[in-house]
Amino acid sequence: QVQLVESGGGSVQAGDSLRLSCAASGGTFSTYAMGWFRQAPGKDREFVAAISWGGVSTSYGDSVKGRFTISRVNVKNTAYLQMNSLKPEDTARYYCAAALSWNKRKWEEYRYWGQGTQVTVSS
């Protein structure tokens, strides 16, 4: 089984930057496409970003385009989410996920999930 562990969340002010990490273990990292989702209390889980197996292709949710960047370093078994120009509406718990196929935008399409890391942005 694949285990995913997110880290890097915290409390920041609007306009600040934050870099989330997702460390994978228990499987061959390069065989999984990776995604990031977020969920705030009372809201649906929202697609944030996805990256293909080798990191060549990426996709983003409309609300984060131009501000967030997804990346991966397969030799480190780690995916990242660089978040710039953070806004209060970015406040949510952020989840890393792994899928066998690429370009999935629904949480149901991912096979493995991490426990999440909280990001809080104050104005």
pLDDT along the chain (123 residues), means of 10: 96 98 95 97 96 95 97 97 98 97 92 97 96
Helix (H), strand (E) counts: the chain: 0, 11
What span, in angstroms and rounded, lies between the C-alpha atoms of 115 and 97? 10
Residue 121 is predicted with a pLDDT of 98
Cα within 13 Å of Cα(82), Cβ side:
7
Residue 98 is predicted with a pLDDT of 97
Task: Please name every residue paired with 35 in a beta bridge, in sequence order, or none if there are none.
Answer: 50, 97
Residue 84 is predicted with a pLDDT of 98
